[in-house]
Amino acid sequence: MKLNNSGCLTGFVAGLSRIFLIMVWIARPANFTPVFGSWIIPCLGFLFLPFTTLMYLILYTPGVGLTGLDWVWLILAVVLDVGHVGFTAATNRDKIPQGVPGALPPEPPATS
């Protein structure tokens, strides 16, 4: 059995983009209005794609939008957000209790 001793540090690092997004939203709420227009998109971004939302906020130029290499950075942020979800799912796939639909069958014992 593999032990995971990372504890709270893993949760903190995983939530760092969400923490930073909330801090920016509290400190500079006027920056969110020209970029998103309402509070719904930032809330959905906070839940599903926090790093992408933060990167879009940083890269957006009022009246112009995103241009040139801004799209590359935004695509990289989407890949990081989706990759984080996929990595978390892959890490936790063997933690599903036996007998639950979708659980992997038990591995046969090793023979020498």
Does any domain span residue 82?
yes
Whether 110 is covered by a domain: the verdict is no
Q: Is residue 26 part of a domain?
A: no
Rounded to whole angstroms, the Cα distance separating 108 from 63 reads 61
Position of tokens 């007998």?
99
Domain-located, residue 15: no
> How many domains is the chain built from?
1
Domain hosting residue 85, numbered range: 61-94
Q: For 57-95, what is each residue's pLDDT tens digit?
A: 999 988 898 999 999 999 999 998 888 777 777 777 777
| Model pTM score | 0.71
Is residue 107 assigned to a domain? Answer: no
Determine contact, residues 22/57, Cβ cutoff 8 Å. Answer: no
Is 73 part of any domain?
Answer: yes
Give 41-54 pLDDT, tens digit per residue. Answer: 999 999 999 999 99
